[in-house]
């Protein structure tokens, strides 16, 4: 009954070790290959492709995306099912790459947490650094998982609804019984606090590695999704105190001037969606929300003719203009300004909310044009913030997570309607369509997943 666990946690790690044998030293113990030296664990922690896996299927379900009529005939069944919020996404011959990738990153994190401190050949400081990083990777993966496959966290409830399995040890035959939404969030917060308690590094050599500022930023995102706005604000401000550089789009000649991922001063911690979601058509309503002088329209989006299959409209552009970027969904300086602005608005400081918005907007508009916004009430400020989030965080899947949490607020909950291949589909606030189903194949192999 644990075939899924076997494929994820035995076969994939062995493949990883085979692919990384040039820089990960392993030894044979019986029929098993094991990590022994601290450098082995560093090699595992630095496996960028696997550790940055972030899924992305929810991007297609979000209000950011709209499939033109002529485009619909060419999309895969998986894309069509996600786009129309179906109860079943994959057919029996398919696996869920999002689920697999995130749990693979969790497994590697668990391997590191379980063994790096007793590894050989490294200093205590090196071991502790790798150990602290693993907590951040695990927290990020669970934050993605609970917001895709679990109900929305509700600060007014006990959050006892089942979400996803919490696997905290690299064990091959543990139960896959799902933990509650509350338990998963508790673990995310605990992991991020553990990374801080273990003196995670302040300034890593590359933004693909976790850091103290990344832990603060992820806590800010987590608390925002939990509706704990003061805690979210506190952590966003801590992250900004360590990194607050914004790119000035006015200095770019074109979208191709956008910096590569590891050189992007706005990125606090890099994580990317699967490449398959590059080029999803963006909603005309979203595109039309950009003002004429907003440089993000040309730098964050690209013509639909740039993708295959081509379509009328535009897609997310940063990954096209700078191929090493992918679709970055890790925490960033712009996100921290937006979180700060939203929290200020919700906590009764509209002037501070628009101050944070204007810091960001000053770097996004053409020279000599008006970029400032103003608000005198909390409601006005909050509306400005949510509009700005949609434009700044366009095409990354954040819109889906925002839709979920905003459904809890009568002022923002909304019913969405789509026509796909001539049939109309409706997504009601807080409906089951906001929770992606666990692949039936996995439930068949592990029945506790369905309980």
| Domain formed by 3-450, architecture | Alpha Horseshoe (1.25)
Q: Using only the alpha carbons of the chain, give its radius of gyration.
A: 22
The mean predicted confidence, pLDDT, of the chain is: 91
**How remote is the C-alpha of 384 from its chain's centroid?**
23
The enclosing H or E element of 356 equals helix 350-361
Query: Are 185 and 146 within 8 A, CB to CB?
Result: yes
> What are 113-137's pLDDT values in tens digits?
999 999 999 999 999 999 999 999 9
Long-range contacts at 383-389 (CB < 8 A, ≥ 24 apart): 384/353, 384/354, 384/357, 385/338, 385/341, 385/342, 385/345, 385/353, 385/357, 386/342, 386/412, 387/289, 388/338, 388/341, 388/357, 388/360, 388/361, 389/338, 389/342
> Per-residue pLDDT tens for 222-266?
999 999 999 999 999 999 999 999 999 999 998 889 898 888 999
Could you report the per-residue pLDDT of 165-213, keeping only the tens digit for each?
999 999 877 889 999 999 999 999 999 999 999 999 999 999 999 999 9
pLDDT tier, 325 (very low <50, low <70, confident <90, very high otherwise): low
CB-CB contact of 386 with 377 (8 Å) = no
Cα separation, 247 vs 264, in Å, equals 8
Which of the two residues, 96 and 33, has the higher pLDDT score? 96
Query: Quick check: pTM over 0.95?
Result: no
pLDDT at res. 262: 86
Q: How far is CA 46 from CA 39, 58, 97, 138, 207, in A?
A: 10, 26, 21, 14, 12
């Amino acid at each position: 009954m644990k075939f899924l666990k076997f494929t994820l946690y035995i076969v994939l790690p062995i493949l990883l070790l085979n692919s990384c044998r040039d820089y990960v030293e392993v030894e044979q113990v019986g029929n098993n290959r094991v990590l022994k030296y601290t450098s082995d664990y560093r090699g595992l922690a630095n496996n960028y492709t696997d550790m940055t896996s972030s899924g992305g299927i929810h991007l297609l379900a979000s209000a950011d995306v709209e499939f033109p009529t002529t485009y619909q005939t060419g999309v895969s069944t998986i894309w069509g099912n996600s786009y129309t919020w179906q109860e079943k996404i994959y057919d029996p011959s398919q696996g869920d790459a999002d689920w697999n990738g995130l749990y693979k990153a969790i497994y590697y994190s668990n391997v590191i947490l379980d063994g790096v401190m007793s590894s050989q050949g490294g200093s205590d400081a090196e071991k502790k650094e790798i150990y602290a990083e693993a907590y951040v990777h695990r927290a990020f993966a669970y934050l993605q998982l609970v917001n895709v496959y679990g109900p929305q966290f509700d600060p007014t409830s006990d959050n006892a609804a089942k979400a996803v399995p919490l696997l905290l040890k690299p064990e091959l035959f543990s139960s896959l019984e799902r933990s509650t939404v509350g338990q998963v969030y508790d673990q995310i917060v605990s992991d991020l606090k553990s990374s801080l308690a273990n003196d995670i590094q302040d300034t890593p050599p590359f933004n693909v590695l976790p850091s103290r500022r990344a832990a603060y930023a992820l806590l800010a995102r987590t608390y925002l999704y939990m509706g704990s706005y003061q805690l979210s604000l506190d952590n966003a401000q801590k992250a900004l105190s360590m990194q607050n550089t914004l790119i000035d789009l006015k200095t770019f000649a074109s979208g191709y001037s956008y910096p590569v991922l590891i050189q992007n001063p706005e990125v606090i911690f890099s994580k990317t969606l699967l490449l398959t979601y590059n080029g999803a058509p963006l909603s005309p309503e979203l595109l039309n929300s950009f003002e004429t002088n907003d440089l993000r329209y040309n730098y964050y989006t690209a013509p639909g003719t740039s993708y295959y299959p081509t379509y009328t409209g535009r897609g997310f552009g940063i990954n096209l203009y700078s191929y090493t970027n992918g679709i970055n969904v890790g925490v960033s300086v712009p996100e921290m300004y937006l979180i700060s602005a939203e929290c200020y608005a919700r906590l009764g400081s509209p002037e501070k909310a628009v101050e944070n918005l204007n810091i960001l907007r000053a770097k996004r508009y053409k020279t000599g044009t008006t970029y400032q916004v103003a608000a005198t009430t909390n409601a006005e400020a909050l509306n400005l913030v949510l509009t700005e989030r949609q434009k700044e965080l366009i095409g990354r899947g954040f819109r889906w997570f925002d839709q979920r949490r905003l459904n809890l607020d009568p002022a923002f909950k909304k019913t969405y309607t789509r026509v796909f291949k001539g049939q109309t589909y409706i997504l009601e606030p807080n409906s089951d369509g906001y929770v992606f189903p666990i692949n039936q194949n996995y439930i068949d192999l592990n029945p506790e997943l369905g309980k």
